[in-house]
Amino acid sequence: MEGDTPGILWVIRHGRPAVEPPPALVDREGFNRYLRRYDVAGLSPAEEERLRRRFRALQADLAVASDLPRAVATARALPPDIPFVVDEAFREIAVGLPDPADVTGVAERCFLQGRWPAEVWWSYIRWAWFRDRGAESRAVSDARAQAAIRRLLTTYQAPRRQLVVIGHAGFLSLLVWTLRHQGRLQGPWLPHPGFGHPTRYLWRPGAG
């Protein structure tokens, strides 16, 4: 980056999707249906208005958003003087719970046949990610993060002082953690997990 002033990166998880939560106890098929609804959901008018108020003072040269509906709708809530582009490199791959017949462990198979709170199912998905299983395995996520970082640095951040990235909690956390580990960013190790909550980072000198 040119000059002495470091560039700014705003990292924002998308707004809260307009989707009904699953029941208190839900089986595997019911939770998978919820995940499919979540993937295609946009934002409610009330959530869009909440984000417009929250983003009112935000300043940036450009925003980059995942191509999933909830991220695009969040980008549209930014101040009108911030242009945005949609880039699938920053999207979240759809996840789901496997068929019990496809797992080998007896305990895991029994678990998948039960009814659990949603957070238990989310914990299982995170556990599977760390074990490098599923469509969005850890190896896939790491490769996607490196590709997204290359696009971030070469296509979007380099000519600009202030950039917004709007995406999804898990993938944004991996992006930020990787950039921090590489010594490219100054700021929290992980972005705020709240819906539509901006986290501010500074690029380290020579990082852009």
pLDDT tens column, 35-49: 999 999 999 999 999
Instruction: Supply the pTM of this predicted model.
Output: 0.91
CATH numbers and ranges of domains, the chain:
8-22+43-93+135-203 (3.40.50.1240)
Q: Which long-range contacts (CB under 8 A, 24 or more apart) does 26-32 make?
A: 26/115, 26/116, 26/117, 26/118, 26/121, 27/113, 27/114, 27/115, 28/97, 28/100, 28/112, 28/113, 28/121, 31/97, 31/118, 31/121, 32/96, 32/97
Dump pLDDT digits (tens) for 178-201.
Answer: 999 999 999 999 999 999 999 999
Encode pLDDT of 21-35 as tens digits.
999 999 999 999 999
pLDDT at 1: 47
pLDDT at 159 over 90: no
